[in-house]
Structure 1
Amino acid sequence: MQDSKKEFGNVLIVGLGMIGGSFAKSLKQQGLATLYGADRRAGELTLGVSTGVIDHPAQLDEATISNMDIIILATPVRAMESVLSEIKPFIKSTTLVTDVGSTKGSVVAAAVKVFGEAPANFIPGHPIAGAEKSGVLAANPNLFEKHMAIITPLPYSDPKLLDRLHRLWRAVGAEVVSMDVDHHDHVLAASSHLPHLLAYTLVDALANAERSQDIFRFAAGGFRDFTRIASSDPVMWRDVFLANKDATLTTLDLFTDRLAEMRQAIVDGDGASMYGVFTRAKSARDHFLRLLEQRTLGKPQEKQVSISVSPASAIHGEVKLIGDKSLSHRALIMAALAEGVSELGNIDLAGDVKVTMQALRDMGVVIEEFGYGSVRVYGVGRKGLRAPIAPINVHNSATSLYLLAPVLAGQAFPVEVVGEDSLLNTPFTHLLALLKNAQANVVSAAADCLPFKFTPAQLLPLSGVLPGPASSRLMSSAILLSLFVEQDGQFESTLHLDQQVRALFASFGVRIEGDQAFTVSTDAITGASLELPADMQQALWSVLLAIILPGSTLQLESVARHGRMNVLLEVLQQAGAKFVWLGEPLGVFKTQTLRVSFAPLKAFALTPEQSYELREFVSLLAVLAVYAEGESQFEGIPQLPYFYEDRITTLMDGVNHIGGAIEWQAGTLIIKGCPPQGGDLDSAGNELVAMAFLLLAARCRNGATVRDCQKLLAQIPNLEEIATVLGLKCSVHS
């Protein structure tokens, strides 16, 4: 018997089928062990040696077993007791014994029956990998790469051998996780065993149907994909179901109950219930595919996108822009919490709003898209959301986090919120302070960062002034939080509530009284039909294009003229802009058509109060100042949150790089009217800076290219189409 000095020494595979053979072949090709194989089928052993899967055939005798460092049982689960009984007299206490069976309770029971109690060197395991093929000729050394291997250690398992088992699975490329035996069997009954049972049963039922020949003859790809696993080894799966009887029956009962509900929905013609099941199922399936893709490929690299702008003489036409992004978030959430059906028109369903919509769908809300920017939301009520199957991922959307967090705090189920990229390192101190003011049970990572973990709590009414600098998002968080307390919510803020936001909440039956000391009350949240006004960022961008490009005349439909839009227009008037409102105010948001045309511009100023209120638009206004005669001054910029100042710094670098003139002077942003020549502009991946640079490029003497625009196009995927309608000459390229 060879005494190998390789990392894992002598390894015996008992059962040289596809799983056992793949394990052996991977270790052998990497030179990590000397491989022995034992199998009741002599032909498989011969093939194993001749095809290079194992080094030596072996018997389950003392000479073999006593010299093994690792023994892997890859036999059917019902054969485990017999194999363990056969090798028991010869196993050393230092030999790691493990298995690859898909049920763990029966394997542990077999070990207990043979040994009296499962020995410390026996540690069960199960790779989540396989194929319909069987036998040693199906051995694939890459089978386990980027697949999970579940280890189910017992309370008294040898820690050194447990560590060795972890290293063994990682050596064949698996991602190792630990799980207790009972939990493993219930999880696998749902994720693996039940699908096989359904596939076998469906194929058998259809094969014995009256029209079986035509059924199979005309079956399409969906039938092939769903029933693929019915080609698996029948003996193995018979043993699995007998070994995991209780967990399989529990899962099967759950499925049959839901199948009966679906049958009744079809009988009743209940399309909403069916659509709800299909929507939730699609959401869960998409989540599974995302996890699988991440495990297989890792996080995809984001492709950089640039937009080139040629000098444009003028823009013109009549344009209706997609709805306001911030209102779209709020409208979807309120419609989900309402009783009844809401129809929302001109909703922005791109970028961050998709994050909010997906989170609601993950919690059981049916959102039906029935036209560009139009959705029908079937409200579930304040307490009607369902626990998602995975953490809610807000990706890089701070707005989604601010607006979903108070809703999650009021639910009757625990839930975790995770994020990505820069959002993971952003502290949300003020949001957490607001939640804890209402006695929400929320725990964050260090420094008030994501992830957040919510557990059910009896929320109390808010009191006092909102924490931190006033913001529209935090005010909306406070309003949403107030919907989950028994009494009217009361809080104070130094910021006036935007009239559009107030109008939106009122449409769903939420009364907000007061100007800076607010009282929030509602008898019931009811469904609503709304047409959202144009997005303010896109509207301002389009208006400024018309103002700075000679010969331009533009009409924008569905613009709401109150709130911050009034403040913006006051600033534009100060700069010499020309515009007029057409028609009578319409709808909940009092929208009108805005006509704007080119005007020679003069320098203007922003007070600290205006800079704060218009902080989201400062980058665009700074570009306007580049094309104004004289020296414009923006005060209060250093007092804005750090990321606003970061945007301004990036903007300054770009403007100065292509021949403009912006500088800081004692905390004041000084912008000298000086039309730039053109060139390359790097937005540093910020969508608001990219939008400002596109505006800047539109009147550069030689045009310009704005780089790193992928986030802007994620937020406004039809940007090129909008530019074409306006007459702006630009092209997108990667």
Structure 2
Amino acid sequence: MSSQQKTQQYKNLALLNAQSPLFNQVCVIGLGLIGASIAQAIKNNGLAERIVAVDRHEPSLKEAIQHGLLDAGSVVLSEIVSGSDLIIIAVPAQAVQAVFIDIKNAMDSGLLATDCIITDVCSTKVNIIDAAKAVFETLPVGLVPAHPIAGAENSGYHARRATLFVNHSVIICELPTTSHLAIAKLSQLWEAVGASVMPMEAAHHDAILAHTSHLPHLLAFNLVEQLASHDDNLDMFRYAAGGFRDFTRIAASDPKMWHDIFFANQSAIISALDEYSVYLSDIRQLIIDKNSTALMGLLGRAQAARRHFGHMLASTPYTDTSAMSASYNITPSNTVSGTITIPGDKSISHRSIMLGSLATGVTHVTGFLEGEDALATLQAFRDMGVIIEGPDNGNLTIHGVGMNGLKPSKTPLYMGNSGTSMRLLAGILAAQAFDSVLTGDTSLNKRPMERIAAPLRQMGAVIQSTGQKGTAPLSITGRDSVGTPLQGIEYDMPVASAQIKSCLLLAGLWAEGTTTVTQPEVSRDHTERMLSAFGYPVTVDGNRISVEGGGTLKGGDIAVPADISSAAFFMVAAAISQDSELTLKQVGINPTRTGIIDILKLMQADISLSNETHVGGEPVADITIRGSNLVGIEIPEYLVPLAIDEFPVLFIAASCAQGRTILTGAKELRVKESDRIAVMAEGLQTLGVDCTVTEDGLIIEGKGTQSQNSDINNSQPVFGGGDIVSHHDHRIAMSFAVASLRASQQISIEGIETINTSFPGFAELANQIGMSIDVVSA
């Protein structure tokens, strides 16, 4: 059973046994910042009948009683602990063993039940458990070591805040000797005061905290001491910049507390210091050698990692509805107009990173999409040792490492919400010498990966998916362990999928012999085009695409055109609204991606292309769309792969058309970020549109009306208003935003954070052309 499953089991157990309030009497030992804050949070949330405390500072006890925070307080535990069913130890780590002695004496004298829950808030855990072992003959069944990852610059009783733990993590170390109910009740308490509970083994906790908390504090104290020891220290502190102040702020923390922590976690901190010394020595040498490229690589990786980890932590709960905090409130508007530039193509941005990293020489990329999906790909290659400068306003410089220059990542490669990143990278990593693990957020880890894993195994890859459904995380065994290279195969694809095709073609770059992929219908060909742009021969014979293994890629200049999938939202917005005329500048019109244009033209949309040219091997054009009287159609199946990502917004167009629109042959939509057929049908029905879900498509009864007056035809409301659940799918959210142009009432869309995966700045651009989207954060 996983730790998450155990935690949920404990929560269920706690709910079955829960009383209101949760505890009869809580005894807090130590009324410093953490102890007083948890006492205040318990008080404010009504989690205990009584709260008592022990502290050496009697004035703090008296004040807490006067404030109504405490029911009783004492400097001696035995005087007030009787009847407590929870004890929270909030004293320095070195003092905990003495507290355990007092608790054992209280148990031995009958003041405390032997199953009383005992927890602590110390930032080291192994020494706390060792101290308990030294005092108790056997560890108490109620002992639950814990550590809230929260704090503040000021300390003491007066610095207390009941909200100190809101949106912070609390690590709980689940000991085999501890009762499940004790773990569950303590977890419930921490969650009730706004924290998120994470289970972790004690030794792992101490190692993690040594690097992320204890080492930074030690360095901050040391740096301030270094500067204070200079003869000109007054000038140093007077002219210290904001970075110095930000970094050394933590050196204002309690010296006694940190003195104890440094000794309590000695082994892990020394290990972290030794590792830091190696990195410090390396960067010192880079500066001595004036190694500009390597130094830029190090600084760039660090900057990107800082942003990436922040994003990773924020994006992990994209599919956890309890974590969603942002939504759209959209007021209906009738028309859009103007000339706008759409962000860069996501598919091409992914591939520019991948092939630029594997090329020899330097690759310069312009127009790179700085959305979260593409940034996940960028970070993955940084994690594998590639030096990448940027992104800076869509500009990147990639210092390629060659076909065999990637290095193993020290951690699993995190793909966020990007299926393209995971599936294409799996093909590359299946051919590498080293082992790899690919993982993503909750949504991505539910999406099918056997569709690429199975054919990769036919090539000789050793790849393990997760669970019965074959999902991520993916574990890939390196070729050094397997002992043989990949072998080229001929593979008939069961469905037309650019991701499957690209995965196998990329794996084929290292395979012995020829790798040939045959697709049932044409799918987007960005991989083939970009391989050619990097000088790698690709053979295309109808729907058969082949590569020979053993070639090389050569770096060069890549210009990323505007993304037609992102442009699709604005095409439909203009087509369905009154008196609209919108021009989208230099959009990619790769013939394997223009299904959206072809389908809208079949629906009689007024679309024209101008200024057609080529950018980086890809055709581009300005696209102008005017308000149109759309008609329902039966969508030709050969166009389905060419518009697979655009169907959510095409369903909005179909709803505004006169007559019925029928989509078949689109099973692929059911395995995207969400089941896009079911989710769109649900939303359309919420807004008053009749539609029928089929096994491989959707039937939509358009609400457009016949009229000689075109202005009347495309101005009448089609949708009502209501609340739309996007299921954290960016294309679902943006599609229903477009629906507001033909709505009679306000539309609210929940869970819109994922829009940043492909289209950062969507709401701002939509408002620029006349829509009225209000982004609301809870």
Q: TM-score, normalised by structure 2?
A: 0.73
C-alpha distance in structure 1 between counterparts of 2:506 and 2:464, whole Å: 16
Q: Of the candidates 83, 87, 91, which is equivalent to residue 71 of structure 1?
A: 87
Q: Letter of the 1:249 partner, please give it.
A: I
* 2:504 counterpart residue number: 478
Aligned to 2:285: 264
Alignment deviations for residues 643-678 of structure 1 (CA, whole Å, 9 cap, x no partner):
6877998999999989xxxxxxx9999999975231
- Work out the CA distance in 1 between the residues paired with 2:342 and 2:328: 27
Instruction: Tell me the distance in 2 between the aligned counterparts of 1:21 and 1:624.
Output: 58
Matched to 1:208, the amino acid is S
- Judge conservation of contact 2:494–2:519 (CA < 8 Å) in 1: no
Asked if residue 17 in structure 1 is aligned to residue 32 in structure 2, the reply is: yes
User: In structure 2, what is the equivalent of residue 519 of structure 1?
Assistant: 547
Q: Superposition pairs for residues 223-234 of structure 1, below 5 Å?
A: 223-234=244-255
CA distance in 1 between counterparts of 2:642 and 2:89 reads: 68
Which residue, out of 53, 56, 62, partners 1:46?
A: 62
2:52 is matched with which residue? 36
- Structure 2 partner of 1:387: 409
Relative distance call for 1:338 and 1:309 in structure 2 (3 A) is farther
The 8 Å contact of residues 148 and 177 in structure 1, kept in 2 or not, is answered as yes
Report if the CA contact (8 A) 1:13-1:24 is conserved: yes
| Equivalent residue for 1:247, pick from 256, 259, 268 | 268
Describe the SS at the equivalent of 2:230.
Answer: coil
Task: Provide the secondary structure at the position in 1 that maps to 2:155.
Answer: coil
| Deviation (angstroms), 1:237 | 0.9
Instruction: Quickly say closer, same or farther: Cα 1:602–1:305, change in 2 above 3 A.
Output: closer
Q: Distance in 1 between matches of 2:165 and 2:342?
A: 50
The CA distance in 2 between the partners of 1:576 and 1:68, in whole Å, is: 73
CA distance in 2, matches of 1:468, 1:263: 54
Within 1, Cα distance between the matches of 2:255 and 2:716?
68
Q: Who is 1:502 aligned against?
A: 528
Partner of 2:9: none
Q: 2:176 aligns with which of 139, 155, 173?
A: 155
Contact 2:370 2:760 in 1 (8 A): no
The answer to whether the 8 Å contact 2:370/2:391 transfers is no
Cα 1:292–1:476 change in 2 (3 A) is closer
The count of residues paired between Structure 1 and Structure 2 equals 709
Aligned partners of 1:309 and 1:704 also within 8 Å: no
Rounded to whole Å, the distance in 2 between the matches of 1:55 and 1:480 is 68
> For residue 302 of structure 2, what is the aligned residue in structure 1?
281
| CA gap 1:354/1:299 in 2 versus in 1, 3 angstroms | same
CA distance 1:712–1:218, shift in 2 (3 Å): closer
Cα distance, 1:231 vs structure 2: 1.2
2:323 aligned with 1:298: yes
Alignment match, 1:180: 201
Measure how far apart 1:682 and its partner are.
5.5
Contact 1:399 1:473 survives alignment (8 Å): yes
What are the residue-to-residue correspondences of 1:646-665 with 2, within 5 Å?
Answer: none
Question: What's the TM-score, normalizing by structure 1?
Answer: 0.77
Are 1:111 and 2:148 matched, yes or no? no
Tell me whether 359-368 or 212-221 shows the greater mean CA deviation.
359-368
Q: 1:100-132 CA distances to partner (integer Å, 9 max, x unpaired)?
A: 222222223333333455454544332222223
* Aligned position for 2:487: 461
Distance 2:684 2:145 in 1: 61
Give unmatched runs, 5+ long, in structure 1.
659-665
Tell me: CA distance 1:249–1:721, structure 2 relative to 1, closer, same or farther (3 Å): closer
Which residue of structure 2 lines up, in the alignment, with residue 663 of structure 1? none
Between stretches 618-627 and 106-115, larger displacement belongs to 618-627
Structure 2, gaps ≥5 residues long? 1-18, 109-113, 480-484, 671-675, 691-697
Distance in 2 between the 1:205 and 1:561 partners?
60
CA drift of 1:370 comes to: 6.8
Distance 2:608 2:564 in 1: 16
RMSD of Structure 2 on Structure 1 (CA): 5.4
Q: CA deviation at 1:200?
A: 0.6
Amino acid at match of 1:679: Q
Do structure 1's residue 131 and structure 2's residue 157 form an aligned pair?
A: no
d(CA) in 2 for partners of 1:618, 1:6: 51
Q: CA deviation at 1:343?
A: 0.8
Give 1:717 shift.
5.9
Contact kept? 2:115, 2:140, Cα under 8 Å: no
2:326 alignment partner, SS class = coil
Find the aligned partners of 1:70 and 1:116 in 2 and give their Cα distance: 20
- Residue aligned with 1:465, SS: strand
**Conserved? CA contact 2:496–2:521, under 8 Å:** yes
Summarize the Cα distance change of 1:488–1:99 in structure 2 as closer, same or farther, 3 Å threshold. same
Q: What is the aligned partner in structure 2 of residue 679 from structure 1?
A: 716
The 1:215/1:171 distance shift into structure 2, 3 A limit, reads: same
Maintained 8 Å contact 1:53/1:139: no
Q: 1:672 to 1:527 in 2, by over 3 A?
A: farther
Distance 2:735 2:191 in 1: 49
Deviation at 1:185, TM superposition (A): 1.2
- Matched residue type, 2:55: D
By how many angstroms is 1:476 displaced? 1.0
Q: Which residue of 2 aligns with 1:661?
A: none
Q: 1:607 to 1:208 in 2, by over 3 A?
A: closer
3-state secondary structure, aligned to 1:303: strand
Matched residue type, 1:441: I
Letter in 2 for 1:507: A
For 1:193-232, what per-residue CA distance to the aligned partner results, in whole angstroms no more than 9, with x for missing partners?
1111011111111112232112222223332221111111
2: distance between equivalents of 1:586 and 1:114? 76
Q: CA deviation at 1:245?
A: 0.9
Secondary structure at the aligned position of 1:344 is classed as: strand
Q: Deviations over 1:559-616 (max 9, x none)?
A: 6676666997899799999989989x86762758789999x99999989463345444
Distance 2:631 2:48 in 1: 74
Q: 1:139 to 1:311 in 2, by over 3 A?
A: closer
